[in-house]
Amino acid sequence: MTQLVLPSDANALGTAFGGRIMQWIDVAAAVASRRHAGGVAVTASIDSVHFDQPVHLGDIVVLRASVNRAWRSSMEVGVRVESESDGGQRRHAVRAYLTFVAIDAQGRPRAVPTLVPETEAEQRRFAEAELRRVARLSARRPRGPVAG
């Protein structure tokens, strides 16, 4: 996915709003998860977003999203964001990991196809996704009544 940072996307310092970049990340990840699932998938969580470099007004922003791993109904999607200045030089700016859940017409989770990593990079992302999932699940707080 490609975007252009316009004045309405930038703050007083001339850098893109983090929230705008997060919006673009969510859309790019939604497209990747929908393609993998073969239907609607919704954002379940945004596990981490790392703003490594600023993105400036007028930059072209290139977002690359890929499903790193799929479980029963959920998928981890990684998004890499690069910014490109007028000189055409790209630099890594932001990285994020999101979890999507495929849903049926009634809004219930539905099964997604398994993912078979082929390249070395895909195998690395596949293995790392499981480590993040274990950490995510162990950090999850139990659901229950809210103390007041």
pLDDT tens per residue across span 85-143:
988 899 999 999 999 999 999 999 999 999 999 999 999 999 999 999 998 888 876 66
CA gap 82, 59 in Å, rounded: 10
In a domain, 74, yes or no: yes
21 closest CA partner among 43, 58, 54? 54
Q: What is the pTM of this model?
A: 0.90
pLDDT attached to residue 98: 97
Q: Which range marks the domain in which residue 58 is found? A: 2-139
CA separation, residue 68 to residues 8, 31, 32, 102, 122 (Å): 32, 14, 10, 15, 7
Q: How many domains does one find in the chain?
A: 1
In a domain, 24, yes or no: yes
The domain that holds 16 is classified in CATH as: 3.10.129.10
In a domain, 132, yes or no: yes
